[in-house]
């Protein structure tokens, strides 16, 4: 993973990282709630979209939600 400067500001660096990778069928709610308070939510989401990250929660969006955003952007 890149060492872009914003990554050091992510709240998830201070919390249990497993929250951002819930088990299949697990809830993303706790991670998303933290992301929505994170000061780098915007660059984080942009990074995940640009790098096509397929797993985990980034910028408050699940992989399914990111795929949907990309579909809409491409339409």
Contact pick of 4, 14, 16, 20 for ligand SF4 (by CB under 6 A):
20
* DSSP tag of 59: T
User: Of the two residues 42 and 68, which places its CB atom closer to ligand SF4 in the complex?
Assistant: 42
Give CA 68 to chain center in angstroms.
14
Contact pick of 19, 58, 67, 75 for ligand SF4 (by CB under 6 A):
58
Residue with tokens 């952007």: 73
Q: Which of 10, 26, 37 is nearest to 62 (CA)?
A: 26
Of residues 22 through 51, those in contact with ligand SF4 by CB under 6 A are: 34-35, 38, 40-41, 44
User: Of the two residues 35 and 66, which places its CB atom closer to ligand SF4 in the complex?
Assistant: 35
* Range list of H helices, 1-57: 29-35, 41-50
Note whether 19 binds ligand SF4 by CB under 6 A: no
């Amino acid at each position: 993973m890149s060492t872009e400067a914003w990554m050091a500001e992510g709240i998830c660096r201070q919390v249990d990282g497993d929250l951002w990778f819930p088990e299949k069928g697990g809830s993303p709610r706790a991670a998303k709630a933290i992301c929505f308070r994170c000061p780098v939510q915007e660059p984080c989401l942009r990074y995940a979209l640009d790098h096509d990250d397929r797993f985990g929660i980034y910028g408050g969006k699940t992989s399914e939600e990111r795929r949907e955003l990309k579909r809409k952007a491409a339409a």
